[in-house]
Amino acid sequence: MTEMNLSRAPSPASVPVPSSASLWPSIVALAFATAYLIALLAVEEQTLIIGLLTAAVVAVVAANYLGLFVPVGRSFAEHEGTFGLAAIVAAFALAAYFHEDHFVLLLVVTVILYIVATLGLNVQFGYTGILNFAGASFFGIGAYTSAVLNAHTAVPTLLVVLIGGLCAALIGSLLLLPVLRTRGHYAALVTIAFALLFKTFLEVNDVLGGPQGLQVGGMHIFGWSFNDNLSIGGIELSFYINYFLISMLLLVGAFVLVRRLERSWIGLNLDALRLDETAASCFGLNIARWKIVSFTLGNLLIGMAGALFGMVGSFIAPNNYTFADSLILVSILLLGGIGNAWGVIVATIIVVIVPEKLQTIQEYRFLIYAALVIAVLLFRPEGLLTRPVRRYFPGVRS
């Protein structure tokens, strides 16, 4: 509001004045989605699950056909901050509903941490165009860091999460030289080679448990052990609620950071160099510097998510961090909408939860992923949610 005095120019607004769409359509859509998700997670019977999933696809297609997403999109675009708060409330409502259910909560925490990791990939690929096929490896670096540190040191576990991220960023910097010297597919090849090397390295290294893997100590904060069940006012809570809280904290932090990055001059730099390195150079952009910033920041987020995930799962092995897992992370990004942080959330929910609930297709998981990715690339190459044009201060009149 204070900027108003500043701009005495005849120009009315620094930001295009929104047509003041109502907040409600997006909130209603969010409520529907949350209720649906709770139903999907609660149901066990396979035929019912298949029915629910089919209903969702039909409902989305029908809503799209009827143009129901238009007011939702407009309302979301103008009230993104409020919508974000509502989404946090929705996540807490979901966790509260399943407060006793270990399995569902573990699934929810997995979704949250995968979102954080994919946000990291989004910075690298979505904004900067560096295709990282070693996402699972950097996730694994975080997890192994927490296994080693929790077993052999007394470093506070909260700090371990940060150190896990820093280790991923540091080891990722080994790849910087080849990544900076190559472009596009060739940079992707470098990361594939790293992913394969990383798994082999873990398998032959007995200090790191070899193929059998390692136990990971749980999280402690000031003597509060995250691996004990809770009881508040006589209500029993699963110990995963602890991990849900800390994961949400990480997610909100990472999400705000990534959104701010996108809506800053740095986000603009990353887009500019992805789209045309030569033109960007002619306007002073230091290509190498911004690629380093982006790759390192992305790996930091992936590593932090991995470090926390290691403690959640309490056990890690090289087989959890294969090239195939990296592909899943990339496919989330393709599905959600490259460069769209909200799309990452939607896509991660789909890619992690659907196969877990549809036990009958477990064997064919990768087949489904592959079909999904091909379908997206064919029919909606920009992903489910296309990335809108950057608005630095959305929904603000000034």
Partner 1 sequence: MTTTTPAILEARGLTRQFGGVVALDNLDLTVNANEILGLIGPNGSGKTTFFNVITGIYQPNGGTVTFENADVTGASPQKMYHAGVSRTFQRSRLSLPLSLFDNIMIGNHKRLNQGLWFNLMRRQAFRDEFEKNYQAARALLEIFSPPLVRRMFEPVGTLPMIDRRRIEICRALISAPRLLLLDEPSAGMTHDETAALMNDILLVRDQNRNLTIVIVEHEMGVIERITNRCVVLNFGRKIADGPYRSVAADPLVQEAYLGASV
Residues that bind partner 1 (CB under 8 A): 3, 6-7, 9, 11, 14-16, 257, 260-261, 264-266, 268-269, 271-272, 275-276, 278-286, 293, 387, 389-393, 398
Residue closer to partner 1, measured from CB, 281 or 359: 281
Residue closer to partner 1, measured from CB, 50 or 268: 268
Q: At its nearest, how many Å lie between partner 1 and the CB of residue 262?
A: 10
Q: At its nearest, how many Å lie between partner 1 and the CB of residue 6?
A: 6
Q: At its nearest, how many Å lie between partner 1 and the CB of residue 368?
A: 30
Q: At its nearest, how many Å lie between partner 1 and the CB of residue 173?
A: 16
Which residue matches tokens 């909408």?
A: 337
Residue closer to partner 1, measured from CB, 65 or 265: 265
Residue closer to partner 1, measured from CB, 9 or 57: 9
Q: At its nearest, how many Å lie between partner 1 and the CB of residue 186?
A: 21
Q: At its nearest, how many Å lie between partner 1 and the CB of residue 49?
A: 38
Residue closer to partner 1, measured from CB, 267 or 318: 267
Residue closer to partner 1, measured from CB, 63 or 257: 257
Q: At its nearest, how many Å lie between partner 1 and the CB of residue 257?
A: 6
Residue closer to partner 1, measured from CB, 11 or 20: 11
